[in-house]
Every structure is written in structure tokens, then in C-alpha cells.
Structure 1
């Protein structure tokens, strides 16, 4: 996918067209919101798929972690404390490990007071996809899909998931988002799988897995979608140590034994290497791990009652995985992280 000469003629007066394109390509994403208002030509270029792929090809995109993070509750005096507990609400936080900066995405228009509970995040070509979860008012399961485009900073409603499911595996790669497993509205574990293309806004059925896998975890590595652990309807909570792996090219699944600690929930803490090895982030309570380029952002506690922390871990092969604590987290961004994904913007 290439940009034609007509797309960038006269981008910057006084500069050759190639230099004008080079200048805009190097413009940091944080400045794009202002650049979109310069002129219609800049807006069309910066919002195009061709320009995104050009920036990616030339190494001028960046990877950030998008997190489903709980609102921090304001501190209250003893006299003001409520007697009952309230369900926390969640926003999407954006963490940039290069600049160590924290920001928030505008709320989903249909859920201005907080995201659907236990919704799933995935990314695809600069877009963030929010799927499923439970309605925060009724706790009813949802099939809703919302897509946020970092190029336009706008949400749109996507095509609903074809099946009702909760606590399923997700992964993204090759222009699609993959979902598999989880359970239906009657708590029956599922073995079905689907692929979503945000560009065409269409869902396509994928061959089913050989086993039901509720509360499984997913990740795309190279040309494979790994669905790790989970359990069947009749073995509630008995997490399996195996994984099922979809070859995206052929559409065929294979089963791999012994990749996860049997009996332990894998939710939001699977980090897969190219060699098929599953890595343990090293925390045990409230864990979420998001791989962002050469590092992972890991959140959680070392043991019950320990402080909730934010850590960076180097992912380079041959290095000992050491948790490096992020000492300074801005006010409003230290809440519990339920899940997350990496987005290249």
C-alpha cells in the first residue's frame, strides 16, 4: 500500500513534496490532533490508511499500552464513608513507556460513565477494539463492539459479535482480531472462534477448537493465535495446562500440552515468546501484563495485601526478567488494571 505523488503535492509551501511528506511522517502522534486542523489536505493524509502504513514501514509509529483501569475513588473522611460497597467504573488509560506519559481516551459515547464490566480490548492497525463485557447497570452480557481510531480520535459502533460470550480469549494480527472460547449467557463453556476485520466491519467464522475453554487467555505470535488454559463446562475452575494454537494461514488448530501451570487462572498474565514459551510475569495478585515492544508493562501485587504496583520488564531473550518498579505514577492513574493490550499508533 503506497502513497501516490498526488497525495502530498504542496504539503508544506516552499518545500519539495518528498520533504513535506518526510516532515509530516516524523511528526509525533501527540501533535496530530493539532495538525488535523491545519488544512483539508493534511487531514485527509493523516487519517488515511496509506499514511499509517507509510509511517509504520519507515519506523515512525510508536507502541503504547491501553489499559482498562478503575476510576480512583476520591478520599473521604470517616464521617463521609458510605456504608455499602460500590462497583468501580473503568476508563481506558494510555501509557507510553518511551516518554513515561499517562493519558486517557475519551469515553465510549454509549457508556459515558464507565466501560462495560469485563470488556475485552484488542488492537488492529492503529485502532482500539472494545468487545463484549457486561452492562454496568444491569450486569447483562453484551455483544457490542466499539472501535476507537487514534488517527481521528473518534469512536464508532462496530458490528456486534455473532455470539454472546464472556471471559473469552482475544488476539490480534494480520489485520484481524480473533476471539475464542469463554462462556455463553447460560455459563456453558464454548469452543467456537471468530475473526473480526475492523476495516470491513465483518465477522468471519473460524474452525472450532477441539475443547471448550472458559476463562482462557489469547495472544497472537507470528502467524499463530494461541488460546491458553481455560476449562470446560463440567470442570468449573479447574484450569488446564494446555493451549490450542490456530495457524492463521491454514485455519487449522493444534493442541500443545504443558504450557501453563494447571489450576492457575491465566487471565491477563500470559506473555508468549516466538519459540512458543509462555512467560510468567512474576506477580500473583490482580495481575495484568501487556507487551509493548521490547518491554512489558506489568501491574499487580506480589502477595495478598501487598501494595498494588506498576512495573516494566525487559523482554529481550537471554536477559533475566526483572521487575523494575515505576516509581512515579500521576494522580488518577494508580487504580486497578483489569486488562489491556498494545496499540501501534
Structure 2
């Protein structure tokens, strides 16, 4: 397959790749198949964290003129803040934020329009390119649910909540979203209903490590 960098041992070449800025990965992955394969591996980002060279960011909804209309990113390493490109949909209301496989994943909660996916993803490795729309949840309407991410496996779990917009119909349903495959699967119903209305105004920011 050849060396990572001509004339350099692979261990030195890997050290060079590890120290690149995350925003450059979109172009770096196009150099060759081997570089692309390395930058896709979870172990590569775990090593960046171990060496304390990963980029840490806090992502949160940003208000403009009193309306939440975009996501702001605060870079803890550079002590700077910027806005991501606008999401091509209204983002008012309650959203769940997760960081999985170097993707910021937003899942709409309260009053999600069932005709749209209500899932949006931003890949920090793409060098500032646009958001992409994710697959629809396998349910017409679901509000007030809880969610949790398994970053290692690239999965997001959505459980409980309400089956209508009146918050009078708690449900036992559970779903799992595979970020890399952009696919939802239905899990077996839980043994009990979960009334999760109390957490509807949480989950509007997340810490990202890349």
C-alpha cells in the first residue's frame, strides 16, 4: 500500500495526521484511500483525545432577534465562537443535541412536523459544508421523549414520550438511530409508560470532541 508519507516511517506520518485541524479532514480524506480509511476509524479520534490534541467545542442554539435560528459553536481551545451554516428548516422549539461519530445530530422533539425527518446532521470533518437531512423517525408524531447516545457504536436511542401534541397519551415505544447508516430501527416496547414532559427544555447544548 506504500507509506503514509513518502520518505517517512508510518508512525511519524500518523503523528502528522493526528495533529491536523478537524476542518481540514474533508480535503485530507480525498488524498488517498489509506488516509481516508485512517480518518474514518474511531481509534484515530480516541488517540487524538489521549494526546490531548482533540478540538473541544460547545454547541448550542443561538437566538437572533429573539428567535432560535442557528447553532453557535464555542471553541474551547481557541476561545472563539462562530455560527454554523443555517439549518434549512425552522429550529424553534425543543431539540435533542448529540455528538456521534464526529457528527452533531439534532433531533426535533416538541411539535415535530411529521411530514419531515426532524433529524439534521452536521459533520465537522467536512470543512464547513452544509447540514444534511437525516431519515425520518418511524412514527408520525412523538413528543417529550428522552434520548441518549452510544458514541462508540454510533447509535442514538429515543424512548417514551407522548403520541400526540396534547401530552395526554404517554407511549412505551423505543427506537434506535444509526448515524453512519442513516437508519432507524424499532425496538421492543418498554414495560411501562414514561412521562418525560419534565425534561422538555433540556438538551439544547452539547460538548463535542474531535
Verify same fold: TM over 0.5: yes
Residue 43 of structure 2 corresponds to which residue in structure 1? 53
Deviations 1:301-334 (A, max 9, x none): xxxxxxxxxxxxxxxxxxxxxxxxxxxxxxxxxx
User: 1:18: Cα distance to partner?
Assistant: 2.6
Q: How does 1:135-146 map to 2 (within 5 A)?
A: 140=113, 143-146=117-120
Sort the Cα spacing of 1:39 and 1:182 in 2 relative to 1 into closer, same or farther, 3 A: closer
From 181, 184, 197, give the equivalent of 1:215: 197
CA distance in 1, matches of 2:110, 2:193: 25
Q: Between Structure 1 and Structure 2, how many residues are aligned? A: 198
Assess if the C-alpha contact under 8 Å between 1:116 and 1:133 holds in 2: no
Alignment of 1:1-345 (within 5 A): 6=1, 9-32=2-25, 36=27, 40-41=31-32, 45=36, 48-50=39-41, 52-58=42-48, 59=50, 60-71=53-64, 73=65, 88-108=67-87, 110-111=88-89, 114-133=90-109, 140=113, 143-152=117-126, 153-163=129-139, 164-173=141-150, 174-187=153-166, 188-206=169-187, 207-208=189-190, 210-217=192-199, 267-268=201-202, 339-345=204-210
CA contact (8 A) 1:191 1:213 kept: no
- Kindly state the Cα deviation for residue 160 of structure 1 after the two structures are TM-superposed: 0.5
Q: Is the 8 A contact 2:29 2:35 kept in 1?
A: no
Aligned-residue offset at 1:167: 2.8
Unmatched segments (≥5 aa) in structure 1: 1-5, 74-86, 218-265, 269-287, 289-338
Distance 1:95 1:46, change over 3 A: farther
State the secondary structure of the residue aligned to 2:125. coil
Q: Which has the higher helix share?
A: 2
3-state SS of the aligned residue for 2:156? Answer: strand
Provide the aligned C-alpha RMSD in A: 3.1
Which structure has the larger Rg? 1
- 8 Å contact 1:67–1:93 — kept in the other structure? yes
TM-score (norm 2): 0.76
Gaps spanning 5+ residues in structure 2: where? none
Distance 1:140 1:176 in 2: 23
The secondary structure found in structure 1 opposite 2:73 is: strand
Residue 193 (structure 1) shift: 1.8
TM-score normalised by the chain length of structure 1: 0.49
**1:267 positional shift:** 3.4
What is the CA-CA distance between 1:177 and the residue it aligns to? 0.6
